Amino acid sequence: MGPAGFEPTTTCTPSKYPTKLDDGPLGSPTTDALKVYQYSKSVPDRAEKGRWFDGYLKTSGWESEYPSVQTLLDHLSRRTKSESSRIQYLQTLATLCRREDRTPDQLVRLSRHEAEDAVQSYLNGMAKHGMSKRWINVSMHQLITFFRGNGFKKQKELELERQYLPVRYRMRPEYIPLPSEIGKMVTAGRNPSEKALVVFIYESGLRNSTARAVRYADVKAELDAGLDVVHVPVRSSMKEVDPDAAKGRVEYDPFIGREAVRAVKEYLRYVEGRTGRPFPAECPLLLGQRPNGKPLKKSSLGETVKRLARNAGIERWREVYPHCLRKAFENAVRNSGMDWKDQEILMGHVLPGSMDTYLDKTRTEEFREKHGRVRFFPEGTVTRKEMLDAMRREILALAGCTEEETRALGDLSRFTKEEMDGMIGAKWQQRSTGLRNGQTQKVVASAEVRSYVEDGWEFVTWLDEQRSEAVVRLPK
């Protein structure tokens, strides 16, 4: 059992969430101890299903029955009204309440010294159990904000000891892959979805949550227009998809380059081939394994990137995270010789001092041109042709081409888009032959059933006890 106060109770915690901490060393971002603090904020589709801290704080959205908690919520609402910030603040406060066995209103009735002892003890407990120093300091700031809003100001201000952060402190090591290694990660993708995911994040430099919150509608017009460099606007409305998107509600205008544009187009064709219908404009661009309109989960993105890094032969693959692709983007932009202020703007950073106030936010076309000059895959790395060839092979396989048929075509990157569409259409028509006029079902061998179902056909029944043949039909 973990330390008192660090485990959610079974009365207030949904059964699908952890109810205790297992024995063993803590300290890794993937341990149960850190998940107690972070699990809810990392998965946006849990937002409406209730959170474990709601029971302790009597909260529902931005309302609370406790006056002290309502004061905190009102303060956060006056600032950015960030859903992610609300979750993090309430998570920290609820954990302190549970540890002290006090309600929030009882905490603010403590004397200054009693409150300092309670909070400092809580922070020290986090440190003893291997929590990140940066996370501990963030928690301290959150609790100081709560107490300050409830009268602990000036002479009553809490005096707490911060964790010392060494220069370039990182709790977990990370490895930023080289352009050649990222190219290998792209070719290592099992399907166009995984390939597009890697090159899209790399060439846009988007954060994990923001990349997953991009809707197809955000890029559709420029993709259809055939532009080589496509604008991917980051807006605060992305928080409707993921509360963590558009960090700090900073709106800016990144782009994706030629390789990412090609990869995204191949990916869209792949999804449309699987579903049998056009990609919905309002859907998140990066979907999960099942194209059901739900965004890719944060954990799934991390797992995919790590697996592709391993399959690409990167020695330190365990230390490759989606954010490492953002840092690789920063390296590529910096190596292009771009002005440092322009680099910061493409990264979505706020310029220091009054520089950001005087920033001309109408320079979209100028930045499109500058982004187009960045060499994300220099000569000598995996070529554009190799990536395009690999993605098109996946799409032809989806359409029903055998490995021998695809191999006979040679280098698929030499075909135009119209030629590829023609080959794919012909293969789909070939797969549908055998249906008499007015009929919508056909008999296929058992080995082909899975392929047909994945392509959108519906399984009807087996024809014999040996299950050597089955009946499938077109969806109604």
Distance separating alpha carbons of residues 89 and 428, to the nearest angstrom: 53
Closest alpha carbon to 236 in 246, 248, 228, 227: 246
User: Residue 463 has what pLDDT?
Assistant: 82
Task: Say if strands 458-462 and 469-473 run parallel, antiparallel, or are unpaired.
Answer: antiparallel
Q: Please choose, from the candidates 208, 230, 261, the residue with its C-alpha nearest in 3D space to the C-alpha of residue 84.
A: 208
Which residues, other chains included, contact 433 with Cβ-Cβ below 8 Å and sequence gap of 6+?
none
Identify the three-state secondary structure at position 49.
coil
Residue 419 token pair: 């030629």
Q: Give the C-alpha separation, 233 to 439, whole Å.
A: 46
Amino acid 97: pLDDT: 93
CA distance 237 to 445: 48
Task: Using alpha carbons, select from 269, 273, 227, 266 the residue that is nearest to residue 372.
Answer: 227
* Residue 45 CB-density burial (10 A; 0-12 exposed, 13-18 middle, 19+ buried): exposed
**What's the CA gap between 40 and 45, in Å, rounded?**
9
Q: Check: CB of residue 161 under 8 Å from CB of residue 349.
A: no
Distance CA 294, CA 282 (A): 11
Low-confidence stretches of the chain (pLDDT beneath 50): 1-50, 436
Question: How far is it, in rounded angstroms, from Cα 304 to Cα 213?
Answer: 17
The CA distances from residue 431 to 29, 401, 435, 443, 458, in Å, are 48, 10, 10, 12, 14
Are the beta carbons of 61 and 99 closer than 8 angstroms? no
Count of alpha carbons within 13 angstroms of residue 460, beta-carbon side: 15
Tell me the domain boundaries of the chain: 32-156, 179-384, 434-476
pLDDT of residue 31: 38
In terms of Cβ atoms closer than 10 Å to its own Cβ (0-12, 13-18, 19+), residue 155 is exposed
Give the C-alpha separation, 257 to 230, whole Å. 7
Long-range contacts, stretch 1-7, CB < 8 angstroms, 24+ apart: 2/26, 2/32, 2/33, 2/129, 3/125, 3/128, 3/129, 4/99, 5/95, 5/96, 5/98, 5/99, 5/100, 5/122, 5/125, 6/33, 6/36, 6/95, 6/99, 6/125, 6/129, 7/36
pLDDT given for residue 292 in this prediction: 67
Task: Note whether 70 and 319 are within 8 A (CB).
Answer: no
Of 257, 254, 290, 256, whose CA–CA distance to 271 is shortest? 290
| CATH architecture assigned to 179-384 | Orthogonal Bundle (1.10)
pLDDT value of residue 91: 92
Cβ–Cβ under 8 Å, residues 182 and 202: yes
**Which SS3 state, helix, strand or coil, does residue 429 take?**
helix
Q: How far apart (Å, rounded) are the C-alpha atoms in residues 157 and 252?
A: 37
pTM: 0.65
Which pLDDT value is given to residue 49?
40
Q: Which residues pair with 63 in a beta bridge?
A: 60
The residue type at 372? G
Helix axis angle for 179-187 and 298-311, nearest 10°, is 100
Q: For 221-379, where are the E strands, in sequence order?
A: 230-231, 255-256
